[in-house]
């Protein structure tokens, strides 16, 4: 698998505030990778660095084999970005936007743009400032997709969209894109929505990657262990693999990262256990387990 | 880039139409209010509206993207930032061009003519040349593209301050006087555009106070770098300056007569810091060899040399943007390699005293009071104030100040005169009526004149003459006509007087000009020569031995009068009674008037005149056709005046031992006393000679253009010979 997106040692600070610290990974062609993190974790900064809008303080990034800082034009012609920070010209309508943007993208497909507008129910002749927030987002998506990008960077793509369109985007659109080999790197708080389409999950916290695993492996390896003890306990002893834990009388519950039966047994060996249950976690639960109690600085 | 241009077009098309309508509306309103003349229309359209509107568009280039939140979207397009900036700059330029064109068409439709305007007091430099229609929009676009990066949080106020300062400096005439505005504008525009481009491309927009502060620092750095660059260009341009061969020498000759100090025009390179059209350069010319050299800094204009030629007082026009132009008075120590010493600021030199001390007036404001101080200055002792006068200060709003100044000017003539002692600065009252000015001095008298200018209800203009002796006793001089002009003092104390008739002929030349002498002691006058239909400029030799007359008609010729041939002062012959004293020597024909008319009285009016030794000049014919109107006088080389531009000498009608010197030799007009002297022509090659340097011993130097060369010719007046001495080289 080729490295469509690759970055290593990316570091970025704004003033004296570190935002990214030595992060790096590779993403193959056609993958859908979700970047999750709390507010202020540095997701948008990472997206902007990858798109070449800002430069890192250290480290290197590559999209489609191109350095976005050195070749911003070539990268942007082949990479689409839908960002919540981007605002379209309020006095333009979809038609004017298309006329404006089409010459900038060599693979711009006018028909595809029309189809996306129609499928997302975006009126082509209404000024942007007369559109709802969700419709603006749909228009931005349509514009990004009309350029037929090889990589799509989505920064909070579902913000302001109603449930129907969300579902439409997640299930239909993303599958359709990946079928065409488009690599998608998305950052979102809508973890549950994207859980089913993400091949990989990256959890960003305090400028570093806490998790960078295949989605299936992650859900396999992070398990909740619930045990009923003979005697009440006050706390669960610290363990490097325990992400979160809770003790309530004779009931203890902890989330284990890198679950194995041996590890769970080793932790429970301190008590007389009456009953043990191991259950899986949803992706949002895993995210919370990893990031709860870790305030981000913004 | 075309996409950005298209986007900008879409965004501004309505704005453009609105602006054109604004221009149209302002013209309609001005016409309706009946104030629409050419000047008002052009100022309205091209000085106010077009620059402001162009600035608005240029300023919106990035500022508006920031305001509507589209800057990240724009920055995320597959376009280099340089291209985005270039497209926006290009659009601002195109918008400005379209707007100016539209306004030009509007103006034409309203009958305006797009010609430069000169204002009496508000002489705006923007109208001095083509910069009015080209330079200003470019500058405005550059300023707008710079301030567009001063984004709201930190830079709105800064943008206003910067733009207002630029406009004030740009529109103030004197702030930029003496500078090559084209070069200055190019440098400023390049600096602004480069800063704008770099800031946009690097993405470090001035979007916070901290960054706005950086903008100020960037500006300061630009100003510092620009100053260094300016000085560098100034230094480099010195080598490219070409001193022009002057038409005439303007300046002074040292007392030993060996050197000439003056100023010549210089042609500066286009990229020079000094405007090419007003560049004067102080030079020294060696009168023995004709070799000239600049003697001072490049902006220094020549003043007066000391008598010994060891120093030169010169003016240095000192200008800098934002500061009014002023002239410093410098002393250039030529004995010390031209070392400059500043005599004073804002000083007005008067004259050199016999010991080479300069008498000058300076203006100062000690303690907020305006003072005019009369000072002496010498290289050894520096400034020595003699006396000071308070200068009127005007307070209040500018119309009041202006009115007060006008009143003061009107009252100036009524200020009583005082005599200033150069020894101790004491001011002595002297019985001078208001308006009297010193016109001449003899060993015993100071001659003053009170000039009356013609008014609407009284067109008689002239001068009332009187003299004061050392005791202050006043003596009226009724023998000096009101139209007289005192042209110098002869060694025996007689005044050289030039009197032009009130009657004027072509080109305002006087019908007759009489040169005469006048003695203050007894009022005796003697006519030396009478000229007709020419303007006569006299140049008295320093020893008083002769006077060179420059005759200007359609062209120019030179002649001279031998004052040494006059009888001594006080002799009975020089009493003017219409009869000049009979002089020994060759006799000449009765002089004829300039058109050949024989004077009334014929031979009876003939004057004996002692010709200069050598009998020169000879062979000059009489002017020809007496019927020829005297309105088109053409002076032939050598000084003959012939009618209609034709050299048509007429043989003398009376046999003479020595032919009349020239047709210019005038005859007395009917009823007038006969001239005592015969003007002798000076033969020079062509009529390009404009300068004479009179030297003692009947030697005169003439300078003029012969072809492209500036030549100096030496004339031995008594010998009647002239020879080329040198051609001027720099």
ipTM: 0.83
Confidence at B405, pLDDT banded by 50, 70, 90: low
Look at residue B297 in the predicted model and tell me its pLDDT. Answer: 66
The residue with greater pLDDT, B405 or B716, is B716
Provide the angle, in degrees to the nearest 10, between the axes of the packed helices B209-238 and B181-202: 140
Q: Which residues of A touch B2 (CB under 8 A)?
A: 103
Using CB atoms, pick whichever of A73, A89, A105 lies closest to residue B70. A89
Q: What does DSSP assign to residue B440?
A: E
Residue in chain A lying closest to B83 (CA): A73
A28 touches chain B (CB under 8 A): no
CA distance B60 to chain A (A): 14
Using CB atoms, pick whichever of B2, B72, B76 lies closest to residue A76. B76
Burial class (CB in 10 A: 0-12, 13-18, 19+), B439: buried
Confidence at B312, pLDDT banded by 50, 70, 90: confident
Q: Which residues of B touch A76 (CB under 8 A)?
A: 76-78
A242 touches chain B (CB under 8 A): no
User: The tokens 């439709």 sit on which residue?
Assistant: B109
**What are A193's two structure tokens?**
């929505």
Q: Which residues of A touch B68 (CB under 8 A)?
A: 87, 89-90
When pLDDT is averaged across residues B82-101 and rounded to a whole number, the result is: 90
CA distance B68 to chain A (A): 7
Interstrand relation of B427-429 and B546-552 (parallel, antiparallel or unpaired): unpaired
- Hey, what domains does chain A have and what are their CATH numbers? 3-206 (3.40.50.300), 218-293 (3.30.70)
Q: Which of B611, B568, B605, B570 is closest to B587 using CA atoms?
A: B611
How many CB atoms within 10 Å of residue B129? 15
Q: Which residues of A touch B10 (CB under 8 A)?
A: 91-92, 96, 100
Burial class (CB in 10 A: 0-12, 13-18, 19+), A284: middle
Q: Which residues are within 8 A (CB) of A224 and not within 5 positions of it... i.e. 6 or more apart?
A: A253, A254, A255, A256, A278, A279, A280, A281, A285
Q: What residues 43-62 of chain A have any CB closer than 8 A to a CB of chain B?
A: 51, 53-54
Q: Which residues are within 8 A (CB) of A26 and not within 5 positions of it... i.e. 6 or more apart?
A: A3, A5, A6
**What are B622's two structure tokens?**
């009489």
Burial class (CB in 10 A: 0-12, 13-18, 19+), A35: buried
The residue with greater pLDDT, B206 or B375, is B375
Strands (E), B198-258: 242-243, 251-253
Q: Which of B609, B600, B608 is closest to B667 using CA atoms?
A: B600
The residue with greater pLDDT, A289 or B159, is A289
A2 touches chain B (CB under 8 A): no
Cis-peptide, bond into residue B540, ω within 30° of zero: no
Cβ-Cβ contacts under 8 Å between A and B: the total is 54
Whether B631 shows a pLDDT value over 50: the answer reads no
The residue with greater pLDDT, B421 or B165, is B421
Would you call B331 helix, strand, or coil by DSSP?
strand
CA distance A104 to chain B (A): 6
Would the CB atoms of A73 and B79 count as touching at under 8 Å? Answer: yes
The residue with greater pLDDT, A287 or B122, is A287
Strands (E), B217-322: 242-243, 251-253, 259-267, 280-286, 292-294, 301-305, 311-320
What is the tens place of the pLDDT at every residue in B489-531? Answer: 998 889 999 999 888 887 788 889 999 999 998 888 899 999 9
A66 touches chain B (CB under 8 A): no
The rounded mean pLDDT for chain B is 74
Residue in chain B lying closest to A98 (CA): B3
CA distance A272 to chain B (A): 60
When pLDDT is averaged across residues B307-318 and rounded to a whole number, the result is: 77
Q: What angle do CA A48, A147, B63 make, to 5 degrees?
A: 50
Lowest mean pLDDT among B292-296, B426-430, B449-453, B465-469: B426-430
Q: What are phi and psi of B12, to 5 degrees?
A: -110, 0
Using CB atoms, pick whichever of A72, A90, A104 lies closest to residue B68. A90
When pLDDT is averaged across residues B549-557 and rounded to a whole number, the result is: 89
Q: Which of B607, B586, B590, B608 is closest to B599 using CA atoms?
A: B590
Distance CA B657, CA B267 (A): 54
pTM of the model: 0.62
Look at residue B644 in the predicted model and tell me its pLDDT. Answer: 34
Look at residue B367 in the predicted model and tell me its pLDDT. Answer: 67
Look at residue B598 in the predicted model and tell me its pLDDT. Answer: 32
Q: Which of A146, A163, A144 is closest to A155 using CA atoms?
A: A144
CA distance B69 to chain A (A): 6
Look at residue B674 in the predicted model and tell me its pLDDT. Answer: 73
Lowest mean pLDDT among A236-240, B63-67, B369-373, B606-610: B606-610
How many CB atoms within 10 Å of residue B363? 14
The pLDDT tens digits along chain A (298 residues) read: 578 889 999 998 887 888 888 888 888 888 888 888 888 888 888 888 888 888 888 999 998 888 988 888 888 888 888 887 678 888 898 999 999 888 989 989 899 899 888 888 888 889 988 888 888 888 888 888 888 888 988 888 777 677 877 787 777 777 778 777 888 898 888 787 788 888 888 988 888 888 888 888 888 888 888 888 888 888 887 888 888 888 888 888 888 888 888 888 888 888 888 888 888 888 888 888 888 755 444 4
Give the distance, in angstroms, between the CA of residue B373 and the centroid of all CA atoms in the same chain.
25
Q: Which residues of A touch B78 (CB under 8 A)?
A: 72-77, 104-105
């Amino acid at each position: 698998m080729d490295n469509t997106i690759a970055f290593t040692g990316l570091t970025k600070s704004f003033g004296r505030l570190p935002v990214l610290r030595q992060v790096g990974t590779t993403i193959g062609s056609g993958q859908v990778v979700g970047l999750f993190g709390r507010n202020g974790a540095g997701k948008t900064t990472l997206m902007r660095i990858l798109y070449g809008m800002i430069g890192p303080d250290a480290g290197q990034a590559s999209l489609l084999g191109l350095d976005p800082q050195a070749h911003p034009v070539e990268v942007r012609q082949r990479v689409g970005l839908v960002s919540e920070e981007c605002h379209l010209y309020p006095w333009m309508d979809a038609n004017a936007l298309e006329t404006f943007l089409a010459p900038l993208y060599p693979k711009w497909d006018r028909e595809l743009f029309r189809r996306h507008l129609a499928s997302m129910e975006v009126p082509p002749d209404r000024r942007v400032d007369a559109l709802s927030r969700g419709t603006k987002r749909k228009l931005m998506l349509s514009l990004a997709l009309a350029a037929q990008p090889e990589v799509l960077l989505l920064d909070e793509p579902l913000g302001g969209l109603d449930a129907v369109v969300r579902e439409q985007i997640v299930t239909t659109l993303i599958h359709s894109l990946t079928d065409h080999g488009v690599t998608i790197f998305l950052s979102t708080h809508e973890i549950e929505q994207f859980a089913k389409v993400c091949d990989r999950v990256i959890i960003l916290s305090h400028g570093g990657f806490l998790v960078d695993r295949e989605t299936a492996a992650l859900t396999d390896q992070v398990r909740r262990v619930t045990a009923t003890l003979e005697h009440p306990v006050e706390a669960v002893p610290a363990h490097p693999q325990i992400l979160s834990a809770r003790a309530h009388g004779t009931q203890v519950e902890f989330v284990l990262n890198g679950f194995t039966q041996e590890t769970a047994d080793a932790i429970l060996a301190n008590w007389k256990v009456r009953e043990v249950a191991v259950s899986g976690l949803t992706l949002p639960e895993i995210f919370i387990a990893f990031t709860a109690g870790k305030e981000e600085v913004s | 880039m075309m996409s950005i241009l298209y986007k900008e077009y879409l965004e501004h098309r309505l704005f453009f139409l609105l602006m054109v309508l604004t221009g149209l509306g302002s013209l309609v309103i001005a016409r309706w209010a009946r104030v629409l003349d050419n000047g008002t229309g052009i100022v309205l359209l091209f000085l106010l509206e077009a620059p402001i509107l162009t600035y608005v568009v240029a300023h919106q280039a990035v500022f508006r993207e920031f305001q509507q939140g589209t800057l990240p979207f724009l920055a995320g397009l597959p376009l280099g930032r340089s291209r985005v900036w270039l497209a926006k700059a290009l659009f601002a330029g195109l918008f400005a061009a379209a707007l100016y064109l539209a306004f030009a068409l509007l103006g034409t439709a309203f009958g305006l003519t797009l010609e430069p305007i000169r204002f009496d007091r508000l002489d705006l430099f923007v109208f001095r040349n083509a910069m009015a229609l080209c330079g200003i929009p470019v500058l405005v676009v550059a300023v707008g593209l710079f301030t567009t990066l001063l984004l709201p949080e930190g830079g709105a106020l800064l943008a206003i301050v910067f733009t207002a300062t630029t406009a004030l400096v740009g529109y103030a005439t004197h702030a930029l006087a003496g500078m090559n505005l084209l070069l200055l504008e190019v440098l400023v525009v390049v600096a602004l555009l480069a800063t704008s481009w770099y800031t946009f491309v690097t993405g470090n927009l001035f979007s916070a106070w901290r960054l706005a502060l950086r903008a100020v620092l960037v500006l300061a750095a630009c100003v510092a770098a620009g100053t260094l660059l300016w000085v560098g260009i100034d230094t480099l341009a010195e080598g490219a300056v070409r001193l022009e061969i002057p038409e005439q020498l303007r300046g002074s000759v040292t007392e030993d007569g060996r050197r000439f100090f003056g100023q010549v025009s210089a042609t500066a390179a286009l990229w020079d810091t000094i405007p090419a059209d007003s560049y004067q350069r102080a030079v020294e010319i060696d009168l023995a060899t004709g070799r000239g050299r600049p003697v001072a800094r490049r902006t220094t204009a020549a003043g007066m040399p000391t008598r010994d030629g060891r120093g030169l007082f010169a003016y240095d026009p000192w200008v800098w943007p934002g500061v009014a132009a002023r002239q410093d008075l410098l002393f250039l120590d030529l004995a010390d390699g031209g070392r400059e010493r500043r005599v004073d600021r804002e000083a007005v030199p008067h004259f050199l005293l016999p010991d080479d001390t300069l008498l000058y007036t300076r203006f100062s404001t000690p303690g907020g009071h305006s003072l005019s101080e009369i000072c002496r200055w010498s290289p050894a002792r520096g400034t020595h104030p003699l006396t000071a006068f308070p200068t009127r200060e005007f307070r209040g709003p500018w119309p009041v100040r202006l009115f007060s100044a006008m009143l003061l000017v009107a009252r100036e003539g009524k200020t009583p005169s005082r005599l200033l002692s150069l020894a101790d600065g004491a001011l002595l009252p002297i019985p001078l009526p208001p308006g009297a000015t010193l016109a001449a001095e003899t060993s015993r008298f100071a001659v003053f004149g009170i000039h009356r200018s013609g008014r609407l209800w009284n067109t008689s203009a002239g001068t009332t003459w009187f003299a004061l002796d050392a005791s202050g006793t006043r003596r009226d001089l009724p023998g000096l006509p009101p139209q007289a002009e005192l042209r110098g003092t002869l060694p025996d104390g007689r005044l050289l007087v030039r009197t032009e008739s009130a009657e004027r002929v072509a080109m305002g030349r006087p019908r007759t000009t009489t040169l005469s002498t006048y003695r203050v002691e007894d009022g005796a006058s003697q006519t030396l020569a009478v000229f007709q239909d020419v303007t006569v400029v006299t140049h008295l030799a320093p020893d008083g031995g002769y006077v060179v007359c420059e005759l200007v008609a359609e062209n120019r010729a030179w002649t001279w009068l031998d004052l040494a041939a006059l009888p001594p002062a006080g002799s009975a012959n020089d009493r003017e009674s219409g009869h000049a004293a009979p002089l020994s020597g060759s006799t000449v024909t009765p002089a004829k008037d300039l058109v050949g008319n024989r004077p009334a009285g014929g031979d009876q009016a003939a004057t004996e005149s002692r010709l200069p030794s050598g009998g020169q000049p000879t062979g000059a014919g009489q002017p020809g056709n007496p019927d020829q109107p005297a309105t088109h006088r053409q002076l032939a080389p050598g000084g003959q005046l012939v009618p209609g531009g034709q050299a048509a000498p007429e043989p003398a009608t009376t046999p003479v031992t020595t032919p009349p010197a020239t047709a210019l030799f005038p005859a007395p007009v009917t009823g007038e006393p006969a001239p005592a002297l015969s003007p002798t022509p000076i033969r020079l090659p062509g009529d390009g000679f404009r300068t004479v340097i009179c030297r003692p011993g009947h030697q005169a130097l003439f300078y003029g253009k012969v072809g492209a060369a500036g030549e100096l010719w030496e004339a031995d007046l008594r010998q009647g010979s002239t020879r080329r001495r040198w051609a001027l080289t720099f």
